[in-house]
Amino acid sequence: MTTDSVENIAEIKRNASSPIILGIESSCDETAAAIVRGDHTILSNVIASSSAIHAKHGGVVPEIAARAHLDTLAPVIEESLKEAGVTWSQIDGIAATGGPGLIGGVLVGTVAAKAMAQFHDLPYFAINHLEGHALTARLTDKVAFPYLLLLVSGGHTQILLVKDVGNYERLGTTMDDAAGELFDKGAKVLGLGYPGGPAIERSALAGNAKAISLPRPLKGADHCHFSFSGLKTALAQAYDKYGDQFEISDYAASLQSAIADCLYDRVKKAISKSFENHEFAQKPVLVVAGGVAANQAISRRLHSLCADYDVGLAVPPAKLCTDNAAMIAWAGVEYYRRNMPSSLDFAPRPRWPLDDKASPPPGRGVRQ
Smaller CB separation from ligand KG4, 117 or 328: 328
Q: Which is nearer to ligand KG4, 159 or 292 (CB)?
A: 292
Amino acid at 272: S
Residues 285 to 344 in contact with Zn ion, rule: CB under 5 A: 323
- Contact range with ligand KG4 by CB under 6 A, out of 42-50, 195-203, 302-310, 326-334: 195-203
How far is it, in rounded angstroms, from Cα 94 to Cα 273? Answer: 38
Stretch that binds Zn ion, among 64-72, 77-85, 152-160, 181-189 (CB under 5 A): 152-160
Cβ at position 233, least distance to Zn ion in Å: 25
In this structure, the dihedral spanned by the alpha carbons of residues 156, 161, 162 and 164, taken in order and rounded to 10 degrees, is -140
Q: Residues 315-354: x/- map of binding to ligand KG4 (CB under 6 A)?
A: -------xx-------------------------------
CB of 316 to ligand KG4, least distance (A): 11
The CB-of-87 to ligand KG4 minimum distance in angstroms stands at 30
Nearest CA to 181 out of 358, 361, 28, 32 is that of: 28
Question: What is the phi-psi region of residue 32: left when phi exceeds 0, alpha when psi lies from -120 to 50, beta otherwise?
Answer: beta
Asked whether 314 and 69 are in contact (CB, 8 A), the reply is: no
Give the nearer residue to ligand KG4 in terms of CB position, either 171 or 200: 200
140, 153, 227, 324: residue in contact with Zn ion (rule CB under 5 A) = 153
For position 274 contacting Zn ion by CB under 5 A, the verdict is no
Give the Cα separation of 166 and 158 in Å (integer): 16
Tell me how far, at minimum, the Cβ of 27 lies from ligand KG4, in Å.
7
Q: Which is nearer to ligand KG4, 124 or 194 (CB)?
A: 194
Give the residue with the Cβ less far from Zn ion, 149 or 211.
149
Q: What are phi and psi of 34, to 5 degrees?
A: -150, 155
CB 246 within 8 A of CB 212: yes
- In the region spanning residues 64 to 123, those forming contacts with ligand KG4, defined by CB under 6 A, are none
In angstroms, give the least distance from the CB of 297 to ligand KG4.
8
Size, binding site for ligand KG4 by CB under 6 A:
19
For the chain, how far is it from start to end, CA to CA, in angstroms?
16
Chain centroid to Cα 354, Å, comes to: 12
Classify residue 317 by burial, with Cβ atoms within 10 Å: 0-12, 13-18, 19+.
exposed
| Cβ-Cβ contacts under 8 Å for 2 (sequence gap 6 or more) | 126, 342, 343, 345, 346
Site for ligand KG4 in 248-307 (CB under 6 A): 290-292, 294-295
Give the CB-side neighbour count of residue 117, counting CA atoms within 13 A.
30
Give whichever of 29 and 265 is closer to ligand KG4, judged by the CB atom: 29
Backbone angles phi, psi at 80, to 5 degrees: -65, -35
Under DSSP, is residue 329 helix (H, G, I), strand (E, B) or coil? helix
Q: Under the rule (CB under 6 A), what is the footprint of ligand KG4? A: 28, 153-155, 180, 183-184, 195-198, 201, 290-292, 294-295, 322-323
Per CB under 5 A, residues contacting Zn ion are 153, 323
